[in-house]
Amino acid sequence: MRFVSVEIESFLGHFLRISEISSNFAGKSKNEYEQKMKKNALSILIVLAGVLFLASCGSTKDVAYFQNSNYVDLSQSQVLYDARIMPKDQLTITVSATNDEAAAPFNMTVPTPYSVNSRSTYSQAMLQTYLVDNGGNVNFPILGTIHLGGLTKSEAEQMIQKRIKPFLSEEENPIVTVRMTGYQISVIGEVARPGTFTVSREKITVLEALAQAGDLTIYGLRKNVQLIREDANGQKSIHILDLTDANLVNSPYYYLQQNDVLYVTPNKVKAQNSSVGSMTTLWFSATSILISLTSLLYNILK
């Protein structure tokens, strides 16, 4: 930006020189005046081209992701991620057995109301969702209160299966399926489409989350993406992620947990533009007028 400022000062200096030549025109010949006007008009056009060039210049080192990918050891990332159940998660728990009547007491359903010709009726029943309380517990039919907080889905399924077996015949080998229905993450800041997104697969990486938000804008700092996270005890933490460093894939924050928030910090250009506000529009308007006047003078005198 310092070079751009220097070029702008040079541009204004050339324009002032045109004004000075115009004021001294009475004491000089017309040919001499035209020659100086052409020279200064050409100089101004060159300066303006330089300003536009410098303003558009950018370094790919601040934009490209994973710049050191050829030197990263990916052997540390050979672990499959499995989300853990946290307070305020919404779960569906399904129990299946060869004897449907035996499994029915464990499958709570809720009829879905709807209206037909202004008369209320109910559609096919849907499975009850369970809200995990702050202690990591849910109140499950027959079993009562069970603790699921901190468990993966597989661990929760195995634990529930073990608990319900005594209520079934010895021949039964029930199948328990646990799903998270409220797995959400949020992306805000310098992205194309900020918002909150529901994750159906119960697994999402930082890059996938940014892709859902339309990727970073050109004003987003790739080296300063902030991850705001709350753990099962309510403790908040902020972690800085560098998208230009391929070691991110080995980071414990590469996979997002439910309710994580990604904040993409704006760079200095965006911050300055926001503070300048309407003055930016005024500056560009003034520049356009000066360019038009210079072009007009050049066309008259050539």
Q: Which tens digit of pLDDT belongs to each residue from 121-140?
A: 545 567 889 999 999 999 99
Q: What percent of the chain has pLDDT over 70?
A: 67
Q: Are 153 and 180 in contact (CB under 8 A)?
A: yes
Backbone angles phi, psi at 206, to 5 degrees: -60, -45
Mean pLDDT over each residue of the chain, to the nearest integer: 80
237: pLDDT strictly greater than 90: yes
Residue 262 in this model has a pLDDT that exceeds 50: yes
- pLDDT of res. 79: 79
Percent of the chain with pLDDT over 90: 49
pLDDT at 35 over 80: no
CA distance linking residue 180 with residue 201, whole number of Å: 9
pLDDT of residue 28: 52
Does the structure show a pLDDT above 90 at 225?
yes
Using alpha carbons, list the distances in angstroms from residue 246 to 79, 223, 263: 17, 12, 19
pLDDT given at position 280 = 56
276: pLDDT confidence band, cut at 50, 70 and 90? Answer: low
End-to-end CA distance of the chain: 34
Give Cα separations from 222 to 56, 93, 266, 284 (angstroms): 19, 40, 9, 29
Specify the pLDDT at position 26.
46
pLDDT score for 6: 43
Is the per-residue pLDDT at 57 higher than 60?
no
Q: Which long-range contacts (CB under 8 A, 24 or more apart) does 50-59 make?
A: 50/7, 51/4, 51/7, 51/8, 51/11, 54/3, 54/4, 54/7, 55/4, 58/218
Is the predicted pLDDT of residue 53 greater than 60, yes or no? no
Q: Classify residue 56 as exposed, middle or buried by CB count within 10 Å of its CB (0-12, 13-18, 19+).
A: exposed
Whole-angstrom Cα distance, residue 229 to residue 235? Answer: 8
Report residue 61's pLDDT band, with 50, 70 and 90 as the boundaries. Answer: low
Question: At residue 245, does pLDDT exceed 90?
Answer: yes
Question: ∠ CA(186), CA(197), CA(90), 5° rounding?
Answer: 95
* Dist. CA 136–CA 204, nearest whole Å: 22
Predicted pLDDT at 126 = 76
Question: What pLDDT digit, counting tens, does each position of 64-115 carry?
Answer: 899 888 888 888 777 788 999 999 999 999 999 999 899 999 998 876 665 5
pLDDT tier, 289 (very low <50, low <70, confident <90, very high otherwise)? confident
**Residue 232 clears pLDDT 70, i.e. is over it:** yes
> β-strands 184-189, 261-266: how paired?
parallel
HSE-CB of 287 using CA atoms within 13 angstroms: 17
Q: With a threshold of 0.75, does the pTM exceed it?
A: no
Q: Is the pLDDT of residue 21 over 60?
A: no
